[in-house]
Structure 1
Amino acid sequence: MFIVLLRFADNRAEAGRHMDGHRAWLRQGFDDGVFVLAGTLQPGVGGGVLAHGTSAEALRERVAADPFVAEHVVTAEILEIDPARADDRLAFLLPAA
């Protein structure tokens, strides 16, 4: 499981120009079953995505394809978590026993 932190970069002013592409990128991630949560980092410093069911390499490629990343609107940091315990509502994120 991964947390992707998308923090605004020097080219933040161009976010509006690339917003449609970024939203399409998010939609594709959800449609592909890779993204399970996305939202804004408060207070308005960027965004975050929870990704599951993919490899680190495939996620790096997916993140690089985000227009916000490609156009340097945000910088991306990918954190990998090896889930060991979860609330029952999130049990699907745990590795199969």
Structure 2
Amino acid sequence: MYILSLTYVKPNDEADRHMERHTAWVKEGYAKGWFLASGRKVPRNGGVILAIGDRTAIEAYVAADPFIIHGVAEYDITELAVTTAVEGLEILKR
């Protein structure tokens, strides 16, 4: 599993200008079966996506995020080897 942590490097109003395209990109990540959960950080200075799949493919997909293309955010990708999960979340062990 991967934790995709994005941090805004521009003000929130700049992020808002690209939010619709970023949200479409996120939805496509779900459609591909890579994204499991996502949301804003609190306070709102970025977001987090929980992902599964091939790291190289996910890194290439992250590079296509409109937030990256327009210099709104930077990503930190952390691989997590999940060994224990509550019932129903076994998919995290991939």
Q: Same fold (TM over 0.5)?
A: yes
Answer whether contact 2:12 2:45 (CA < 8 A) is retained.
Answer: no
Q: Deviations over 1:48-95 (max 9, x none)?
A: 00001x111111101010001111111100000111111112112224
Moved over 4 A (4+): none
User: What's 2:82 paired with?
Assistant: 83
Q: Please state whether the residue corresponding to 2:84 is helix, strand or coil.
A: coil
- Is 2:39 the partner of 1:39? yes
Q: Deviations over 1:22-50 (max 9, x none)?
A: 01100100111110000011111110000
Answer whether contact 2:3 2:49 (CA < 8 A) is retained.
Answer: yes
Answer whether contact 1:13 1:73 (CA < 8 A) is retained.
Answer: no
Aligned AA (2:85)? A
Moved more, 64-73 or 9-18: 9-18
Which ranges in structure 1 are unaligned for 5 or more consecutive residues? none
> How far, CA to CA, are the matches of 1:8 and 1:2 in structure 2?
19
Deviation of 1:11 (Å):
5.7
What is the identity percentage for the equivalent residue pairs of Structure 1 and Structure 2?
A: 35
Q: Report the aligned-residue RMSD.
A: 1.3
Answer whether contact 1:40 1:46 (CA < 8 A) is retained.
Answer: yes
Task: Calculate the TM-score normalised by the size of structure 1.
Answer: 0.89
